[in-house]
Amino acid sequence: MSQLPAAAVADAASKLMLAGHWTAATALLTAAQTDDPEEQQILALARATVAVDHDFGQQSDHATAALAAVTEDSWDLAMLKLRNDYANALFKSGDRDLRDRVLGLIKDAPDDARRGTANFWAGAIADNIYEQPTDAIEHYTLALELGDELTMAQALRHLGHHSHAAGDLKLAREQWERSTELLQQNGHLRPTLAQQTHLAILLRDEGDEAGSAALATEVNRWARQLGVGFIIQQTEELVVRRTPQEHPR
C-alpha cells in the first residue's frame, strides 16, 4: 500500500477544491488514514476547509460537521469558522459578532499572509454585512499589500467593485483583469467565474452589450457545471440584458 504525508494529501485536495471538485477533494481526504494525531489534525482541517468553500459555492451544509471534527484549536480553524458564519450571514441572516471576531484574527495573525487574509475578510464583512465601504476599502488595501496571490486577487476584485461604483471604469478594468489573471494562475475556478461576470458587467457599461452577453453566456455554462447559484443568476440577467446584483461576494 502506498503512503503519502498528510500534508501532500491536503495539498492535492486543496487543488481539487480550487477547481470546484469539492466532492472529489472530500473523498480523497476521507480515504486518507493515519494513526498519527498531528497528521489526523492536518486532514481534519483540510476537510473543514473544503467543506467551508463548498458551502459558500453551493449554499449547502457540509461545514457544520467538518468544523466540529477539528479538535485542535488554532488561528486557521477560527478563520474557517468566521468564513462559515460570514457565508451564513450573507446568504441567510445574522452577523454572529463577525466584526469583533475578524478584528481579533487580524491582531492575532501569526504571519503577514494570514494577516492579509484576515483583512480581506474584514473588508468583505464591512462591505456586505455592515455596509461600511470606507472601512472595507482600507481592509482590502491592506489585504493587497500583505496577502498571497489568491488573497490579492480577491482584494482586487472587491476594490474593482468600488472603482466601478465610483464610475472609474478604467481603474475597475485594470483591477478586475489583474484579479482574473491571478485567480486563473492559481486555478481557483469559482471566483474566476465571479470575476468574469464583473468583466461582463463592465463590457455592458462600456456599451458592448453583445460582448457582455457572449461572455456571460460562457460563464453561465461553467457556473451550471459547478452548481453555483448566484453566478448562474447574475449571468442569466446579463444575457437577457437586465441589470444584475453587482456586488461581489
How far apart, in whole angstroms, are the C-alpha atoms of residue 54 and residue 168? 33
Q: Which amino acid is at 41?
A: Q
Q: Is there a contact between 207 and 169 (Cβ–Cβ < 8 Å)? A: no
DSSP state of 35: S
Q: Around Cβ 110, how many Cβ atoms within 10 Å? A: 10
Give per-residue pLDDT as tens, 148-189. Answer: 999 999 999 999 999 999 999 999 999 999 999 999 999 999
What is the rounded distance in angstroms from the CA atom of residue 184 to the CA atom of residue 189?
7
Grid cell digits, residue 165: 461604483
With CA atoms as reference, report the closest residue to 51 among 75, 19, 84. Answer: 84
Number of H helices, E strands in the chain: 13, 0
Question: Per-residue pLDDT averaged across 124-144, rounded?
Answer: 97
Q: Is the pLDDT of residue 242 over 80?
A: no
Residue 207's pLDDT is 94
Report DSSP state, residue 244: P
At 217, is the secondary structure helix, strand, or coil?
helix
Matching residue, cell 444575457: 239
Which residue, 237, 239, 245, is CA-closest to 212?
A: 239
Pick left, alpha or beta for residue 20 (phi over 0 → left; psi -120 to 50 → alpha; otherwise beta): left
Q: How confident is the model at residue 95 (pLDDT cuts 50, 70, 90)?
A: confident
What pLDDT, in 10s, does the model give residues 43-78? 999 999 999 999 999 999 999 999 999 999 999 999
Largest CA distance in the chain: 60
For 41, phi then psi, to 5°, come to -70, -40
Determine how many CB atoms are found less than 10 A away from the CB of residue 96. 14
pLDDT of 246 reads 55
Mean pLDDT of 18-22: 97
pLDDT tens by residue, 175-227:
999 999 999 999 999 999 999 999 999 999 999 999 999 999 999 999 999 99
